[in-house]
Each structure stands twice: as structure tokens, then as C-alpha cells.
Amino acid sequence: TFRDLQASDERVQAHIDGLVVGGSAAWDLLQEGFGSDIAGEEFLAAVVALDGGSKQARGVLRDVLLAAKEPRAPLIHALGLTLAADADSFLDELGRGAQPALTAMLLDAMTLRGRTVPDLRTLLEHEDLSIVSVALRTTVSSRAEAAVPLVKNLAGRIGPHRNDALVTLAAFDPSLARRQARERFRAGDTDAALAQVLALTGDAGDTEIVSEMAGSAESALARAGVAALGTLGDPAGVRMLLRSLESADQADMASVSLRRIFGAALPWDDLLASSENVADEDGQASPEAPVLDAKAVAAWWSRESKRFPAGTRLRSGEPFAPRAPRPETPLAFRAEEIFEYVTADRARRWLDTRDWASRQVSQLG
């Protein structure tokens, strides 16, 4: 039963499985035993993501949100993920007189809903940094070209959001964002956002500097650099990724990046490390986060490297070319590609949960 599953280490996944099987009875149990448990909130958010925003799901969510003295992020994001028309009016209702932290959550939810948030100028100039951060993400998702001068101003001045703004600027002026990211890194800035900018705007000429970022002593920048190497897709970055495979902090990201670069050309199953050597944050075996074996990949690369010339995007088979905006739009990239880098971690987790849940439903027919 749901009550038995509440003590499970994988309670959210188990609850979702139970909902698929249990139908309306599962909803009744959820409403009966929900309370104020944080895990329950996370479960409810996952359920709403899976449910797709049915009237029943929205009713439970609405009751819980209205009863909460200060609604927390999982519930707000669950509302943002629903597809129902009345979710928008409910977001507006919750937002009246909201505190800055709740306002930031609501903005994130609106972003997930694809809504154009009004008055971005006021939000980008807000004194609360959490709201500025969300407003930057919203600028991209709503394609708010009118806010570009404000974003350029944020990116150019000294302050806590100058590099976050640079990531947003990559959507509208990629060449400027790329140049400033390179200059700031060379000047000693170790913000992970700089690697994200180069991942979005770079070409083969950036593989060397991104490799330097991946080798940084700053953990956040190093991981962002490893991820950026995969996004750039240049085989010249493999040497750095081989080193990253030997790092406990970077091996998972390096594995993902290698798969991004080589795609089907990489014999993934043959190169995986044994599950005994793959540990999660608690030191437990984590087969759900597969990591490539550094020695096996190095041996494979020594045999196959001549097949993959540097400066070639293997996924398309075409040489690198500078990225530039299409003539018909000032956006150089799909908003989703940038959103992958600049969205809140919590929002991204719920998007992942929704995708995972959709796959589970498909498998169940």
C-alpha cells in the first residue's frame, strides 16, 4: 500500500508505480494520508507530472496549496507542469502579495507553462537576486527580445548575476557572449556559467579552452567544462575526458559527454565499468548512473582515434562552423537547449520525473 511505501528509499518511484496500478484508489489514499510531509509534497508533484493535470490531480494540488502557509517549490512546479487551462489563473491567484521566494517559484512555474511573464524590466532590476535569476531564465523561454538591453547591462556590470546574464545573452547575441566568456576565464574568473556559455556558442576553436575549464581545480567549473566538451562534440576533447573518467567527481559527466560526442559509434555496453565500481553520493552501487571504464575507453580510443578527426561534429559528420543566429530570428538556438543549462535544478528534476513517468506508462501500455 502507499502507507507501506512511504518508508522506502525509492518512495517517489514506488508511489508512481502504485498510482499507475491503483488508479482512483491511489488518489484517495494520497488525500487521506498526505499531511505536511515534505516527501509527500515531492510525491504529489511527481504524480501531477505523470497524471498530466487531470481534474482530480488539480483538485488535490489546489487543496494542498491553499492549505499551506508557504507553498514550497515542488508543489509550485507541479502546478507549472500541468496542462490545464485553469492552472494559469491559479498561479495568478497564488501570486498576489507573494514573498520574493514564492514569486521566484511562480515565475519558474510560468516558464515551464510557456507563459510570457509581464514586466520583465521590473523583474530584471529587482533587488532580490532569486527573482533576477528566474527572470533571466524567463527572458529566454519567452523569447523576450525587448529585454535584451537589460540582459546586456546585467552581463556587463560587476555583480552576482553578470555571468548568469551572459548565459542568457548567448540566446540573443552569441558572438558577444562567447567573446566575453573567453575573456573572463582568461582573466581568472572560474564561474561554471562561462563553460555553459561556450557550450552554447562555441566552435572547434573553443575545445582547447573548454578543456582547460574541465581541468580546473574548481569543482563546479570542472564539471561544467566536462559537460561542455560533450556539447561541443569535438573529438579533440577526448583526451581531457579520459582524464575526467578517472575522477570520482567527474566520471559520470565524462561518460555522458563521450556518448554525446560519438553516439552510436561508441560501443557503450562494452566499455562500462562494473557496477561495483560505480557509487552514488552515499557510497552505494548506482547502476542507474552508468560510468565508462577509463582504461577500456583509453584502449578503444588508441585503436579508433584515426577514424575521428578533430574539428568534426560526429553527430552530423560535418566540420565545425561558427554558430550564428538564423536570419529569421535573433535566437541562435532552441530555447530548450539554453533552458537545459539555465533552469533551476529543482525544475529540471521535475521535468526529468515527467519524462521518466511517461516512459513507465508507455511500457505498461
Nearest in space to 109 (alpha carbons), one of 137, 141, 133, 77: 77
Please give the pLDDT value at position 127.
79
**Confidence bin at 297 (pLDDT 50/70/90):** very high
pLDDT of residue 89: 74
Single out the residue of 99, 101, 163, 151 nearest to residue 129, CA to CA: 101
The CA distance from 341 to 236, in Å, is 23
Query: What is the percentage of the chain residues whose pLDDT exceeds 70?
Result: 51
Residue 94 has pLDDT above 80, yes or no: no
Phi and psi, residue 319, nearest 5°: -65, 160
278-298: average pLDDT: 64
Q: Write down the pLDDT at residue 242.
A: 96
Answer with the residue of higher pLDDT: 158 or 364: 158
Residue with cell 504524480: 47
Q: Which of 88-102, 153-167, 241-255 has the lowest mean pLDDT?
A: 88-102
pLDDT of residue 107: 74
Mean pLDDT on 101-122: 69
Span 213-234, pLDDT tens digits: 999 999 999 999 999 999 888 8
Task: Give the domain ranges of the chain.
Answer: 1-117+343-365, 203-321
296-301 contacts: CB < 8 A, separation 24 or more? 296/270, 296/271, 297/242, 297/245, 297/258, 297/271, 298/242, 300/266, 300/267, 300/271, 301/238, 301/242
Q: For position 5, what pLDDT does the model report? A: 41
| pTM exceeds cut of 0.85 | no
Task: Report whether pLDDT(58) > 80.
Answer: no
Q: What is the pLDDT of residue 154?
A: 87
**Unique residue bearing C-alpha cell 560587476:** 158
- Return d(Cα 250, Cα 291) in angstroms, integer: 10
Q: Residue 118: pLDDT above 70?
A: no
β-pairing, 312-313 vs 318-319, is: antiparallel
The rounded distance, in Å, linking the Cα atoms of 76 and 97 is 16
Average pLDDT of the residues in 296-307: 93
